[in-house]
């Protein structure tokens, strides 16, 4: 239900237009298919992904001799489920066995802090002992923001002063996680993307510390992307993917955008599973990504 509400804008963008389209045609012809292609591209599914969806649709229409425009909806639904299922495989957060460490990366403003708070809340509800590390030391506001979330959710935040070495914060947080026998340590990191080399150095340094100090921990590296930025999100993901090993994506602000189709493009172009989606600003507005319910919510 929440997912459906959250996706209402994307739904209008894709499904609303497709419904109008199929109503205005008597049979499936090239013109209809071209209009459909246009709708998919403007819904931020991405050119490459749209092309492969269209190829596959054309094949099916031909082989099964499909003529009724109304059938387009079902065909597209199947196609999207297939793509999302294949590339995302509906993977869950990798936090078992404990202890686990989650590094959270992403540029400023995408919803990194909020997502960390939401994940902490979710894990706490599962009776996990959670600890947060304020590794984004470049912005005082980032540390403050994380502390506010820590209070709200009721988990401890390990932090240093503004401007201190992020890797040192992570080091301390790991020692604290060991001492307190935390199940999951969630680490914020700096979100500066002005220079790929800096990013690689910074994330590389943190990875080394995790490797050395917490080699037994189950590891997850989540990249947070803002769905409202559409194709830009895909570009950001490409840069981060080169800088470090990303194991999962968190796609935020799906509630505020008609660009939810970007989920499809991201899954196909990056081949990194979308693990969580943000559908609002509140603590509970984070969901495990499930491709089937996602597509059903879009078309349901």
189 binds ligand GDP (CB under 6 A): no
CA distance 132 to 150: 7
Residue 100 or 116: which CB sits closer to ligand GDP?
A: 116
Q: Does 10 bind ligand GDP (CB under 6 A)?
A: no
**Should residue 114 be labelled a site residue for ligand GDP when binding is judged by CB under 6 A?**
yes
What single DSSP character describes residue 280?
A: S
Q: Output the smallest distance, CB 92 to ligand GDP, in A.
A: 19
Query: Given candidates 54, 102, 105, 110, which one binds ligand GDP under the rule CB under 6 A?
Result: 110
Q: Which residues are known binding-site members?
A: 106-113, 188-192, 252-255
* Contact mark string toward ligand GDP, 198..217, x via CB under 6 A: --------------------
Residue 15 interacting with ligand GDP (CB under 6 A): no
Nearer CB in complex with ligand GDP: 72/119: 119
Q: What is the DSSP letter of 135?
A: E
**Residue numbers 19-48 binding ligand GDP by CB under 6 A:** none
Residue 253 binds ligand GDP (CB under 6 A): yes
Nearer to ligand GDP, 18 or 132 (CB): 132
Q: Which is nearer to ligand GDP, 18 or 110 (CB)?
A: 110
CB-count burial class (<10 Å; 0-12, 13-18, 19+) for 12? exposed
Using alpha carbons, list the distances in angstroms from residue 270 to 1, 214, 235, 267.
Answer: 29, 28, 10, 6
Q: Which is nearer to ligand GDP, 265 or 280 (CB)?
A: 280
Distance in Å, CB of 273 to ligand GDP, minimum: 18
Q: Where are the beta strands (DSSP E) in the chain?
A: 100-105, 130-135, 156-158, 184-189, 218-226, 248-252, 274-278, 286-288
Distance CA 258, CA 209 (A): 40
Nearer to ligand GDP, 46 or 106 (CB): 106
Say which DSSP state 258 is in.
Answer: S
**With contacts defined by CB under 6 A, how many residues of the chain interact with ligand GDP?**
19
Q: Which of 48, 97, 64, 103 is nearest to 271 (CA)?
A: 48
Q: Which is nearer to ligand GDP, 9 or 81 (CB)?
A: 9
DSSP codes of every residue in 88-117: HTTPPP---SSSEEEEEE--TTSSHHHHHH
265: alpha, beta or left? (left if phi > 0; alpha if psi -120 to 50): alpha
Give the residue ranges of the annotated binding site for GTP: 106-113, 188-192, 252-255
Q: Which residues of 185-214 are buried (b: 16+ CB within 10 A; e: fewer)?
A: bbbbbbbebeeeeebeebbeebbebbeebb
Contact call for residue 135 and ligand GDP (CB under 6 A): no
- Cβ of residue 96: shortest distance to ligand GDP, in angstroms? 25
What is the number of residues in the chain? Answer: 300
- Kindly state whether residue 122 participates in binding ligand GDP, applying the rule CB under 6 A: no
Closest C-alpha among 241, 290, 228 to residue 269: 241
The distance of closest approach from Cβ of residue 280 to ligand GDP in the complex, given in angstroms and rounded to an integer, is 5
What is the binding site for ligand GDP (CB under 6 A)? Answer: 106, 108-114, 145, 191, 252-253, 255-256, 278-281, 285
């Amino acid at each position: 239900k929440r997912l459906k509400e959250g996706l209402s804008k994307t739904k209008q963008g894709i499904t609303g237009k497709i419904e109008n389209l199929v109503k205005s045609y008597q049979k499936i012809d090239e013109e209809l298919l071209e209009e459909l292609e246009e709708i998919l591209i403007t819904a931020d599914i991405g050119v490459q992904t749209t092309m492969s969806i269209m190829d596959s649709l054309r094949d099916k229409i031909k082989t099964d001799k499909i003529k009724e425009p109304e059938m387009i909806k079902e065909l597209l639904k199947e196609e999207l489920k297939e793509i999302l299922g294949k590339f995302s495989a509906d993977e869950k957060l990798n936090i078992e066995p404990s202890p686990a460490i989650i590094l959270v990366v992403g540029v400023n403003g995408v919803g990194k802090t909020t997502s960390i708070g939401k994940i902490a809340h979710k894990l706490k509800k599962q009776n996990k002992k959670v600890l947060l590390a304020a590794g984004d030391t470049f912005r005082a506001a980032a540390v403050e923001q994380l502390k506010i979330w820590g209070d709200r959710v009721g988990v401890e935040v390990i932090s240093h002063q503004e401007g201190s070495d992020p890797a040192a914060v992570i080091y301390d947080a790991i020692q604290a996680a060991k001492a307190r026998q935390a199940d999951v340590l969630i680490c914020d990191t700096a979100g500066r993307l002005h220079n790929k080399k800096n990013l690689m150095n910074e994330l590389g340094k943190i990875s080394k510390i995790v490797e050395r100090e917490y080699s037994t921990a189950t590891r997850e590296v989540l990249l947070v992307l803002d769905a409202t930025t559409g194709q830009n999100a895909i570009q950001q993901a490409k840069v981060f993917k080169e800088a470090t090993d990303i194991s999962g994506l968190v796609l935020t602000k799906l509630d505020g955008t008609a660009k939810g189709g970007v989920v499809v493009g991201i899954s196909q172009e990056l081949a990194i599973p979308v693990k969580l989606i943000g559908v609002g600003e509140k603590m509970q507005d984070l969901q495990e990504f499930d491709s089937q319910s996602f597509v059903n919510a879009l078309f349901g």
